[in-house]
Structure 1
Amino acid sequence: MKRTTLSLIAVATALAAITGFAALTAPDGTVPVHPIAKLPVPVERSSLLCPAPSTSEVAETVYTSYTPTAKAGTRTEPGKAAPGKAELKPAQAAATPVDDKPKKAATAKAPATVAQPGKPVTAEANGGTAPALTGSATGALAPGWTVQQTTVVPAGGARGLLGVSCTAPDTDFWFPAASTAKDRQDYVHLTNPDDTAAVADIELYGPEGALPSQLTEGIPVPAHSSVPVLLSTLTGEAAKADVTVHVTTRSGRVGAVIRSADDKLGSDWLPASADPGARAVLPGIPKDATSVRLVAYAPGQDDADLKIQLVGQSGTIVPASAQSLHVKSGMTAAVDLPDLTRGEAGSLLLTPTDPKKATPVVAALRVVRGKGDDQEVAFIPATSAITSRATVADNRPAGSTLSLTAPGETAEVRVTASAGSEGGTSVSKTFTVKGGTTTAVTPPVPDGLKGSYALTVERLSGGPVHAARTLALPEDGIPMFTVQTLSDDRGTVEVPTAKQNLSVLDD
């Protein structure tokens, strides 16, 4: 073979490595390009942030940390990935510009380090001084790593069951369904996982538009620290029952979630809505919901007209109580949906009333169970579809309900119950979710379960699937509950593989 031919081979190999495909110029001037196969490769690092769970001295918090087993078909098969580790560490409590009092130090125990995929580990923290947590997972423990923080506050103004799936750091968050009303205490918790300080901006939007802010320089969030900010202190405007909160960062990144406490309805966490979109799915409305309130916001330049539909177990219907919602640009709109479920679990679907005018919105639901003094509240944000796999931890032998919604085509999903935190054997079950319906089921329970367990939902075929888990833990006649929506865990990334074709070099 000629030396020039060898040089061409070397150049071709380099091009293949850089661009993901092999292409050489043949003598006739053509460039043969070969199709590229993309294989899913597990991510090598994941980060999660958990807010400080409560300020109540009677709070009881359970952390559950879990990584699902590797998916078949990934380039790194089970047992071949680097062992890695998954651990959480306490964050420092920092003062805010509107509350510069020094914070009390806490030494709560963080969840134990996950030793292997497929088995959850738990830890407890009691009282009101448990700190926020920052954590990371590497190697085989990174893909799909999730942490659930579940807190029971049996009495007091913040009583309730508060559940949240710890969030990944980001630079942009939307929170419809917040409030600055006098009977609400809504705190946005900002947690910085990095070695450098972050600066965050918090904007509030009410029914008439943006609320004037008392802070113009941003909120500093020191490295490895957490800052809770009471929303009502951010503006001098009169109290608003329905507010949309927009959190962005000028520098750095944070985890953000809102803890909401209502004097009459209890408390829970309000996670961020899915990114603005023309369609929104809000999954997991319990069948016995006594009150459902929809809050939406249009961040763009155009108004949004939304068709409201309930995706139930028998099909999709337009509720008689509210068939549509007009959302003005830059303003928060809300509507009550009384008698929405009528004893049938479901999910809410929002679509443009005019398909030709698709205006992006963000949305969330405030859901109430119970009546009179025995009421409890939870929040359901708009949630993206599970394209591959999603996991929620801290499921109990009784009290867990899994909602699966297929707003379009029929879909098939596999639900896997992990081994228990203290013992038990993993089991799986396949469900077919008919298009335009919601399937609410008692999830499978591991054989010989001891402790709590995780649920992993995998979409096997068909159309998009949205999911949520309801955890109900009644206490003293109060139907305490919390709802966690499931988002795709993004445990893998697609990496192109190059295939060389040197036949064009033949003399």
Structure 2
Amino acid sequence: MNRSTLSLIGVTAALAAVTGAAALTGAGTPEAATAATAARLPVQRSALICPAPSNSDFATTTYTAFTPKGDTTAKNGSAQLLPAGGKSTKAVAPLSEPGKPVTASTNRTDAPALIGTASGGLAPGWSVQQTTVIDTGPGRAVLGAACTAPDSEFWFPGVSTSATRTDYVHLTNPDDTAAVVDLQLYGPNGALKTASSDGITVPPKSTVAVLLSTLSTDRVGDLALHVTARTGRVGAAVLASDAKAGGDWLAPSADAANSVVLPGIPADATSVRLVAYATGSNDADLKVQLATASGDITPAGHETMHVKSGMTTAVDLGALTQGEAGSLLLTPTDAQGAAPVVAALEITRGKGASQETAFIPATAAVGSRATVADNRSKASTLSLVAPTRTATVKITSSAGTGGGSPVTKTVTVKAGTTMAVQPSAPTSGKGAFAVTVERVSGGPVYASRELALPLNGVPMFTIQSLPDDRGTVEVPQSEQDLGMLN
């Protein structure tokens, strides 16, 4: 017999087996047929990338890793970070069990990017926070980054090529084959003419850092950066530094949407700058609102914002919060003419020589659960905003790195308001602790965490948003269908 005959016999036998099984089970009959539904199950594997920290001689970087306790039958597993480049196989902040954060620190000027994987019972909701403190010199700042999953596309509104800023985009390839990445900058007049921004090769298991001001001769203060991987995937983050106003990591904006939420503007912000880019073929006309503790307000003189298609628009909102923490809401002025945008806020605290900067990108909703791994007693502030409907939220502070018992409290966030909450440290515990936010009921909730570490009169701080931790995945149910035999 030739292969075709053997294949035909194999297919016939397989179909006969399926038909027999269907007949025995009754599958495919009206009585047995049910609508296929999807179940949410814990993920079995997670991947995270932490960018290479500062190369300053005065920098100390702390990594905090954490997996929340959850309803999972997978008891075993691993969760660890390994240096990119393959020069070392020593794991950083490996976890041995969920519910207890682990920390590691370094002051190396050549500290590499980290590539991490988690499996089994340590994979669902695995989170890593990278916090760098530069305590002196022109680069003094707190640089915070939530290590993120690799992807093929990122938007970074709020980058700059101005003379006062030094912005690097860090591209890390977690895979065994090379990735090829394109970079494009967009300003108030559209795409900037760039050089050497297409076809950047990121070798396997390695990092490439690109100074944005080398991509164009134009010096523009407010830009949007589009990162696309034409082959492979990368982790991407932008390290933005200002000679006078400190700096921070700028995380990518959430996927472009008609309405966006930017949660957690500190109460004492001295300057708030909004940068938005319209990704679609239509202009975006947006209503600008600030959700405060008492409700929505419209900033005087900035009631609306017009963003042209393919262009970046920036608005200086000044000391927007006026002593009350809030979140910025951007919604279409006309639902019929809505257009997708990406956006970010540049936040400044302090004045003169004592300024410090952080960023708040548009973020996705908390979803079922979100986690921020590195929190310090009396230094962390959660901001929770419910843009459309009142929501009930459970906040859990885990056992700290020095032990202690978890602390949980439930709060209600009224529709159209922002609630600022200082999470309680675990009882009888010391050291960094993780905070998990879970939406119990009601409308969608958006969240961020401010970590304030003042030093020598400078209000140094960093802000990280809390999107869903991807601890579960939707798995569709399947059933036999005799229609395939036809």
Q: CA RMSD in A?
A: 2.1
In 2, Cα distance between equivalents of 1:138 and 1:385: 25
Residue aligned with 1:34, SS: coil
Q: SS at 2:131's partner residue?
A: strand
Q: CA deviation at 1:182?
A: 0.4
Query: How far apart in 2 are the matches of 1:312 and 1:363?
Result: 19
Per the alignment, residue 257 of structure 1 pairs with 237
Counterpart amino acid of 1:10?
A
SS of corresponding position for 1:470: strand
Partner of 2:305: 325
> Taking structure 1 as reference, are residues 269 and 108 closer, same or farther at Cα in structure 2, changes over 3 Å only?
farther
Q: CA deviation at 1:347?
A: 0.3
Q: CA deviation at 1:8?
A: 4.7
Q: Deviations over 1:107-131 (max 9, x none)?
A: 7975231000000000001032111
Matched, 1:483 2:463: yes
1:249, 1:219 → 2: CA distance?
Answer: 9
Q: What is the letter of the counterpart of residue 151 of structure 2?
A: D
> For 1:40 and 1:24, how far apart are their aligned partners in 2?
25
Runs of at least 5 residues in structure 2 that lack an aligned partner in the other structure = 1-15, 482-486
How far does residue 215 in structure 1 lie from its aligned partner after superposition?
A: 1.5
Amino acid in structure 2 at the alignment position of 1:11: A
The residue aligned with 1:469 is 449
1:47 alignment partner in structure 2? 47
| 1:355 has 2:355 as partner | no
Q: Does 1:430 align with 2:410?
A: yes
Amino acid at match of 1:428: T
Letter in 2 for 1:65: A
In structure 2, C-alpha distance between the alignment counterparts of 1:118 and 1:370, rounded to whole Å: 36
Query: In 2 relative to 1, CA 54–425 (structure 1 residues): closer, same or farther, beyond 3 Å?
Result: same
Whole-Å Cα distance in 2 between the matches of residues 110 and 244 of structure 1? 35
Q: Output aligned runs, 1:125-274, within 5 Å.
A: 125-215=106-196, 217-236=198-217, 238-274=218-254
In structure 2, distance between residues paired with 1:435 and 1:210: 38
What's the CA shift string for 1:7-66, capped at 9, x where partnerless? 7550368xx9xxxxx8424xxxx5753144543211111000000110101101000011
Deviation sequence 1:424-465 (CA, Å, 0-9, x none): 111111111001100001112211111111011111110000
In structure 2, the CA distance between the partners of 1:12 and 1:477, relative to structure 1 (3 Å rule), is farther
Please name the residue that 2:435 is paired with. 455
Contact residue 58 and residue 127 of structure 1 kept, 8 A:
no
1:380 is matched with which residue? 360
Structure 1 distance, partners of 2:110, 2:221, is 29
Structure 1 residues 90-109: aligned runs within 5 Å: 90-92=83-85
Residues 264 and 375, structure 1, Cα contact 8 Å, conserved in 2:
yes
Match of 2:21 in 1: 10
Q: Is 2:105 the counterpart of 1:124?
A: yes
C-alpha separation in 1, matches of 2:120 and 2:435: 21
- 1:399 and 2:403 correspond: no
- How far apart in 2 are the matches of 1:216 and 1:193? 21
Q: Deviations over 1:290-321 (max 9, x none)?
A: 00000000011111111100000000011114
The one of 413, 419, 435 equivalent to 1:439 is 419
Q: How big is each residue's C-alpha offset from its partner over 1:232-254, in whole Å with a ceiling of 9 and x where there is no partner?
A: 00112x20000100000010000
Whether the 8 Å contact between 2:64 and 2:93 is mirrored in structure 1 is no
Residue 130 to residue 204, structure 1, CA distance change in 2 (3 Å): same
C-alpha distance in 1 between matches for 2:462 and 2:74: 35
TM-score by length of 1: 0.89
> 1:59 corresponds to which residue?
59
Q: C-alpha separation between the residues in 1 aligned to 2:309 and 2:193? A: 17
* CA deviation vs aligned residue, 1:220-266 (integer Å, no higher than 9, x gap): 00000011100000112x20000100000010000000000001110
Mapped to 2, the partners of 1:499 and 1:431 lie a distance apart of: 42
Which SS does the other structure have where 2:454 is aligned? coil
Are the counterparts in 2 of residues 321 and 337 from structure 1 also a CA contact under 8 Å? no
How much does 1:92 deviate? 2.3
- TM-score by length of structure 2 reads 0.92
Question: What is the CA distance between 1:339 and its match in structure 2?
Answer: 2.6
Aligned to 1:297, the other structure's residue is in SS state strand
Stretch of structure 1 that moved more, 224-233 or 320-329: 320-329
Aligned counterpart, 1:101? none
Q: Structure 1: how far apart are the matches of 2:474 and 2:147?
A: 25
- Contact kept, 8 Å, 2:22 with 2:28, in 1: the verdict is no
Shift of 1:494: 2.4
Aligned residues between the structures: 467
- What is the distance in 2 between the residues matched to 1:430 and 1:321? 37
Structure 2: which amino acid aligns with 1:492?
T
1:361-372 alignment, distance < 5 Å: 361-372=341-352
Aligned-residue offset at 1:277: 0.3
Q: Which moved more, 1:190-199 or 1:126-135?
A: 126-135
User: Could you tell me which residue of structure 2 aligns to residue 24 of structure 1?
Assistant: 28
- Residues 304 and 11 from structure 1, CA distance in 2 versus in 1: closer, same or farther, beyond 3 angstroms? same
| 3-state SS of 1:373 partner | helix
Whole-angstrom distance in 1 between the partners of 2:161 and 2:235: 21
Amino acid corresponding to residue 24 of structure 1 in structure 2: G
Match of 2:275, SS state, is strand
Query: 1:195: how far off?
Result: 0.6
Residue 85 of structure 1 aligns with an amino acid whose one-letter code is S
Q: Percent identity?
A: 59
Instruction: Tell me what 1:304 maps to.
Output: 284
Q: Is the 8 A contact 2:27 2:479 kept in 1?
A: no
Alpha-carbon distance change, 6 to 275 in structure 1, aligned in 2, over 3 angstroms: closer
Aligned partners of 1:213 and 1:6: how far apart in 2?
61
Aligned AA (1:127): R
The residue number in structure 2 matching 1:86 is 79
Instruction: Name 1:417's counterpart in structure 2.
Output: 397
Where in structure 1 are there 5+ consecutive unaligned residues?
Answer: 17-21, 72-76, 94-104, 502-507
- Counterpart in 2 of 1:19? none
SS at match of 2:337: coil
What SS is found at the alignment partner of 1:290? strand
Counterpart Cα distance in 1 of 2:280 and 2:18: 54
Contact 1:108 1:129 in 2 (8 A): no
Deviates more, 1:161-170 or 1:317-326: 317-326
C-alpha separation in 1, matches of 2:202 and 2:19? 53
Contact 1:401/1:443, CA 8 A, preserved across alignment: yes
The letter of the residue matching 1:303 is D
Q: Determine if contact 2:184/2:197 at 8 Å carries over to the other structure.
A: no
Alpha-carbon separation, structure 2, partners of 1:7 and 1:253: 39
